[in-house]
C-alpha cells in the first residue's frame, strides 16, 4: 500500500498553504495498493519532533472507505467518515505549526488498512484509535513532509 502527498515530495518542505501560516488545509493525498480484504482505512498525521516531548497529533481520521484513492486538498470528510480529537483539541486537520526558530519538524502521514470498520466515539483521540485498531491492521504506509518557521 502506498500513500503520497501530491503537493510536495517525500521528506521535503510542506508548502505554506497547508500550515498554520497559510490556509491550514490538508494537502492532496493519493492512495494506491489497498489490499483485498480491507474494510476501512485510518489516516493519522502527527509530528514526532514536537518540542513538548510528546508526539503532536495533527489529524486523526477513520472509517475511510477502502476504495478511496484520493483525499482532496482542503477535504471535508463526509458524515460517515470520522475525525477524532487532535492535540489542538479540534476534530479536523491542523496544519504544521512548529515554534519559530527550531529546526524543521517531520510530519508523518500514516495510512492503515483495517479488516474492520471502527465503532468508536467521534471524540476519540489517536491513542483511542490505535487501541481500537490493534490486531486489525492488514497493511500500512506512510509519507513524510518537513516544515519549519
Domain boundaries, given as residue ranges, for the chain = 2-147
Cα(52)–Cα(50) distance, integer angstroms: 6
In this structure, what C-alpha cell is assigned to residue 79?
458524515
The answer on pLDDT for 39 being more than 80 is yes
Tell me the average pLDDT across 65-71. 98
Q: Which of 3, 6, 1, 12 is nearest to 145 (CA)?
A: 12
Average pLDDT of 15-40? 97
Distance CA 149, CA 145 (A): 14
- Percent of the chain beyond pLDDT 90? 94
> Alpha-carbon distance 89 to 60, whole Å?
11
Q: Provide the whole-model pTM.
A: 0.96
Flag whether pLDDT at 53 surpasses 90: no
> Is the per-residue pLDDT at 51 higher than 80?
no
CB atoms within 10 A of CB 86: 21
Angstrom CA distances, 17 to 7, 51, 131, stand at: 10, 22, 32
Rounded average pLDDT over 1-15: 97
2-147 homologous superfamily: PEBP-like (3.90.280.10)
The DSSP element (H or E) to which 133 belongs, if any, is helix 126-133
Q: What are phi and psi of 126, to 5 degrees?
A: -55, -40
* pLDDT 10s digits, 72-123: 999 999 989 999 999 999 999 999 999 999 999 999 999 999 999 999 999 9
What are the backbone dihedrals phi and psi of residue 17, each rounded to the nearest 5 degrees, phi first?
-65, -20
Amino acid at each position: 500500500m502506498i500513500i503520497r502527498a501530491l503537493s510536495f515530495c517525500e521528506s521535503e518542505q510542506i508548502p505554506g498553504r497547508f500550515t498554520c501560516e497559510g490556509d491550514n488545509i490538508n494537502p492532496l493525498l493519493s492512495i494506491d495498493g489497498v489490499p483485498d480484504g480491507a474494510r476501512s482505512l485510518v489516516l493519522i498525521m502527527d509530528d514526532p519532533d514536537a518540542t513538548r516531548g510528546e508526539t503532536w497529533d495533527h489529524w486523526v481520521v477513520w472509517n475511510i472507505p477502502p476504495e478511496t484513492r484520493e483525499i482532496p486538498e482542503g477535504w471535508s470528510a463526509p458524515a460517515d467518515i470520522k475525525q477524532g480529537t487532535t492535540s489542538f483539541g479540534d476534530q479536523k486537520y491542523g496544519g504544521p505549526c512548529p515554534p519559530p526558530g527550531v529546526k524543521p519538524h517531520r510530519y508523518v502521514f500514516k495510512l492503515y488498512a483495517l479488516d474492520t470498520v471502527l465503532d468508536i466515539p467521534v471524540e476519540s483521540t489517536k491513542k483511542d484509535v490505535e487501541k481500537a485498531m490493534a490486531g486489525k491492521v492488514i497493511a500500512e504506509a506512510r509519507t513524510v513532509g518537513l516544515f519549519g518557521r
